[in-house]
Amino acid sequence: MDRTARTARTTRTSRTNRTRTGLTALATASIFAGLLVTTTGPAAADKGVADKGAATQAPKPTVVLVHGAFADSTSWNDVIRKLRHDRYPVVTVANPLRSLTGDATYLKEVLAGIDGPIVLAGHSYGGSVISNAATGNDNVKALVYLAAFLPEKGESAVDLSGKFPGSTLGDALRPVPTTNADGSQVNDLYIQNDKFHHQFAADVPRNKTDLMAVTQRPVTDAALAEGAAEPAWRTIPSWVLVATQDLNIPPAAQEFMAKRAHAHTAKVKSSHAVSVSKPGKVTEVIEDAAHAVR
Task: With a cut of 70, say whether residue 9 has pLDDT above it.
Answer: no
Mean pLDDT of 254-270: 98
Measured between alpha carbons, how far is 167 from 107 in angstroms, rounded to an integer? Answer: 28
pTM above 0.75, yes or no: yes
Is the C-alpha dihedral spanning 240, 241, 242, 246 positive or negative? negative
Mean pLDDT of 98-122: 97
- The pLDDT value given to residue 22: 53
- The pLDDT value given to residue 86: 97
Mean pLDDT for the chain?
Answer: 87
| Sheet containing strand 185-191, strands side by side | 173-179, 185-191, 219-220
- The pLDDT value given to residue 238: 98
Measured between alpha carbons, how far is 188 from 42 in angstroms, rounded to an integer? Answer: 26
Task: With a cut of 60, say whether residue 99 has pLDDT above it.
Answer: yes
Q: Which tens digits make up the pLDDT trace of 11-37?
A: 454 455 555 545 544 433 343 333 333
Measured between alpha carbons, how far is 80 from 266 in angstroms, rounded to an integer? Answer: 20
- The pLDDT value given to residue 294: 80
Number of residues assigned to the chain? 294
pLDDT bracket for residue 84 (50, 70, 90): very high
**68 exposure class (CB count in 10 Å sphere: 0-12, 13-18, 19+):** buried
- The pLDDT value given to residue 45: 52
Mean pLDDT of 250-269: 98
The number of angstroms, rounded, from the C-alpha of 28 to the middle of its chain's C-alpha atoms is 12
Q: Which tens digits make up the pLDDT trace of 26-69?
A: 433 343 333 333 344 443 455 444 444 444 567 899 999 999 99
**85 exposure class (CB count in 10 Å sphere: 0-12, 13-18, 19+):** exposed
Task: With a cut of 50, say whether residue 70 has pLDDT above it.
Answer: yes
From residue 289, how far is each of 84, 135, 236, 293 by CA, in Å? 16, 18, 11, 7
pLDDT bracket for residue 235 (50, 70, 90): very high
- The pLDDT value given to residue 56: 52
Q: Which tens digits make up the pLDDT trace of 177-221?
A: 999 888 989 999 999 999 999 999 999 999 999 999 999 999 999
pLDDT bracket for residue 261 (50, 70, 90): very high
- The pLDDT value given to residue 59: 86
Angle between helices 77-85 and 279-293 (to 10 degrees): 50
